Copies of this chain bind each other. A is one copy, B any other.
Amino acid sequence: MENILIILTYVAVGASAISGALEARKHEMDIVGATTIAFVTAFGGGTIRDLLLGRTPVFWVIDPWLTVVTFFVGAIAFYRLDRISNRLLIIADAIGLGLFSILGAIYTLQLELSPIVAVLMGVVTGMFGGVLRDLLCNRIPNVFRQSTELYATCSFVGTSVFILLRSFTIESFPAAVIGAAIIFSMRLAAVRFKMTLPAP
């Protein structure tokens, strides 16, 4: 099980790094920009979560290997990736959204903070990597746009379900799997059927 979690983490982080590096190329950045954006996309959400919760040094400082992998994936994507299936990237990103949202909520509960904050931290962990990427690329965060398919919403729904299930004395582990699965499938459905939030 532990192994599956590690593999999923690398898949999700790799997808973030690739999407960050490709974004950097669009904006005519060099490899410094590409690896920084790759890094920020992959770790930005968890970093903000750790800072807000006071879990410092932040997670990637303690285990630097994921960092090294992120840089190399970002660098290779920047220089060598001519095309990549957009579908594949969306699937890998949805894995990350599910995984990291639930992990964000779990870390918050470990600090004995309120369930409301746990949901909030789940969403922050899931979505702020992309927000910081877009900030550094000097544009309004994609996840805030009316034309963007449900993203933070999936994280919000799945994390809330996870928190609710746990409170009904369901053990953490199955609750986490159900929550992450909801986020993952809801995100893919949203992209498939172009589901967006209602405009005002």
Contact = CB atoms under 8 A, between A and B. Distances in A.
- Copies of this subunit: 3
A148 B31 CA distance: 11
A79 B24 CA distance: 34
Contact residue range for chain A? 35 or more
A1 interface: no
Nearest to A140: B138
A64 B200 contact: no
Given A52-B47, A138-B140, A140-B137, A28 B61 contact: no
20 contacts: A25-B200, A28-B199, A29-B145, A32-B144, A34-B200, A36-B144, A36-B152, A53-B56, A53-B57, A54-B56, A57-B113, A62-B113, A64-B117, A64-B120, A67-B116, A67-B120, A136-B140, A136-B141, A136-B144, A138-B138
